[in-house]
Structure 1
Amino acid sequence: MIYTVTFNPSLDYIIRLDSFTAGEINRTKYEQILGGGKGINVSIVLKNLGFNSTALGFIAGFTGKEIERQLQSFGCNSNFVKLDEGNSRINVKIKAENETEINGQGPVINQAALNQLFSQLDALQKDDILVLAGSIPNTLPDDIYEKIMSRLMDKGIHIVVDATCNLLLNVLKYKPFLIKPNNHELGEMFNVVLKTDAEIVEYAKKLQEKGAQNVLISMAGDGAILLTADGQFFKSAAPKGILINSVGAGDSMVAGFITGYLESNDLKQAFHMGVATGSASAFSENLATRPEVEALLQTI
């Protein structure tokens, strides 16, 4: 079984404008409200690609109910811990000459709610896949990823981590099956600017030395690089297409990688599926579907 965890899910209010001027009245020409959060995006894309998962995390209020309703509309399973107070956050995504995001804070998560999540995770079994993705709200301890991975480290669970900086670095000692920083995040972890593929590979290997098994580096329009636990190296250029929506592309890459791995048990095939899926989402208003991914896969 596949599980995803989103600690601070949201409703993403996506708007498009011909231009955006701060301090003035701006009128939209396109609006959409989508349930969001990195783990939730992974669950939706997995379902689009033919794999069931269960989305875990915390929801609250009327916004939380809408997040859950939207997941159900995609055919996704969820088992969120429902908080008694507050509302799940609303994030505003403004797309004009540039992309601007305003992210909400989200509700307070108390220890009792956190213990409920721990109980859910303790029930995971050998060979299950767990995706830990995204930021941590300020009402949770900074080491929550570490606490979870420490609890599960001896159960034979394949853990995928998509997080940034110290949040990622601090869990490498628990040997996650897959991590997916982008090239800029990789540089930030070591306080360097990475300009070449060789430099990216050099620092990706440092993450492996710290414990990561497979390291997938996304590079937006420049494609992606994979370093595997058995020493293999793969690079793929990005498929050609028009960028429409970058939100969820990285999450889609994770979902595609998991799908490819489960279907083939081959890391190279998983890598290509991940690249195709991430690109399919980037080239669409919505998250990638199987036909879109299959079409791009033929070009890799």
Structure 2
Amino acid sequence: LDKLNIKHDFIQVEDNTRINVKLKSSKETEINCKGPTVSKEAIDNFLDKISNIKKEDFVILSGSVPAGLGTDFYTTIMEILNKNKINFTLDSSGEAFKKSLEYKPFLVKPNKDEISEFAKKKLESKDEIINFVRKNLLEKAHHVIVSMGGEGALYIAKDYVLFASALKGNLVNSVGAGDSVVAGFVDSMLKGSSVEEAFRFAVACGTATAFSEDIGKLKFIEELKNKLIIERM
């Protein structure tokens, strides 16, 4: 991170960071190991840092919570962020995703499976997903993107929908593709882009990562961005 000139401010814990293994063959398989045990001192230090985040900053909460912190840990963080009027997005699933909606996140980005899990029924078609999101999510989040893998992605608003068709290419790596969508949308919106431009850039970021061995590079993202077809529905 130092070499890449990326600022960081970690809380050190005693246990090792977990190792996740991705097996790539005809089907991608993952083996996710158990996370570290986190001490009360480390938790308190972390929440102190959260409390000192400034109003003009932006927070992305992503992934599963380490074992031992309890299912309410994200809720504790979101309560602090709400109190300090700080914009955040949560990229997680299950109970954490459900609870985040009480705090009006800036962005939620469930995939097709996650939105079906939240709905407690299989949502197959674009119309089913759009109708469910409009009835259940739009009043609870500022922006909603639903990623559908090889079927494309949807940005759903009250009076319009943006649909990005999936670009053809070789799926190399699905790890980090969703994170890239979140990062691309937030970055673009913070720079003052329109929703459509931010959505286009976000989808290009996710696609570039999916088509790359590692995180998609900016040059490749820009190439894909110019090829994307965004349909306004």
TM over 0.5: yes
Q: Unpaired segments of 5 or more residues in structure 2?
A: 229-233
TM superposition shift of 1:127 = 2.8
> 1:219-230 residue pairs with structure 2 within 5 A?
219-228=148-157
Describe the shift of the 1:132–1:206 C-alpha distance in structure 2 as closer, same or farther (beyond 3 A): farther
2:87 equivalent to 1:158? yes
Per the normalisation by structure 1, the TM-score is: 0.72
| One-letter amino acid matched to 1:126 | K
SS of the residue corresponding to residue 97 of structure 1 reads coil
* Equivalent AA in structure 1 for residue 75 of structure 2: E
- Structure 1 residue 80 and structure 2 residue 7: aligned? no
Q: Is the 8 A contact 2:172 2:213 kept in 1?
A: yes
Distance 2:3 2:95 in 1: 35
For the pair 1:282 / 2:210, whether they are aligned, the reply is yes
Aligned AA (1:265): S
The yes-or-no answer on 1:201 pairing with 2:126 is: no
Contact between 2:61 and 2:90, CA under 8 Å: does it hold in 1? yes
Number of corresponding residues: 228
Deviations 1:121-147 (A, max 9, x none): 111112311000001122112011111
Is 2:103 the partner of 1:183?
no
Deviations 1:241-280 (Å, cap 9, x if unpaired)? 2111111110111111112212333211111110000000
Where in structure 1 do 4 or more consecutive aligned residues deviate above 4 Å?
Answer: none
For residue 173 of structure 2, give the secondary structure of its aligned residue in structure 1: coil
Who is 2:167 aligned against?
A: 239
Amino acid in the other structure paired with 2:6: C
Q: Deviations over 1:173-224 (max 9, x none)?
A: 1100001110111001121111110111122224425612211101111111
The aligned residue for residue 129 of structure 1 is 58
Q: Residue type of the partner of 1:175?
A: K
How much does 1:231 deviate?
4.2
1:185 and 1:216 mapped to 2: Cα distance?
12
After TM superposition, the structure 1 stretch with the greater mean CA deviation from structure 2, 255-264 or 196-205, is: 255-264
Hey, which of these two has a bigger chunk of strand by percent? 1
Of 255, 258, 263, which residue of structure 1 is paired with 2:183? Answer: 255
* Equivalent residue for 1:114, pick from 28, 31, 43: 43
CA–CA separation in structure 2 for the residues paired with 1:168 and 1:278: 20
Contact 2:81 2:88 in 1 (8 A): no
CA contact (8 A) 2:36 2:67 kept: no
Query: Quick one: structure 1 residues 116 and 207, their matched pair in 2 at CA, closer, same or farther if it must change by over 3 Å?
Result: farther
For residues 136 and 207 of structure 1, what CA distance do their matches in structure 2 show? 25
Q: For the aligned residues, what is the CA RMSD?
A: 1.5
User: Which amino acid in 2 is paired with 1:237?
Assistant: S
What is the SS of the residue equivalent to 1:234? strand
The alpha-carbon deviation at position 172 of structure 1 amounts to: 0.4
CA distance in structure 2 between the aligned counterparts of 1:206 and 1:109, rounded to whole angstroms = 38
1:265 maps to 2:193: yes
1: CA distance, partners of 2:188 / 2:159: 19
Shift of 1:295: 0.2
In 2: Cα distance, 1:138 partner to 1:210 partner: 32
Q: Percent identity?
A: 36
Q: Which has the higher contact order (CA 8 A, sep 6+)?
A: 1
- 1:152 aligns to what SS in structure 2? helix
Give distance in 1, aligned partners of 2:39 and 2:132. 37
Give TM-score scaled by structure 2 length.
Answer: 0.92
Provide the rounded CA distance (Å) in 2 between the counterparts of 1:252 and 1:286.
11
Q: Distance in 2 between matches of 1:92 and 1:233?
A: 37
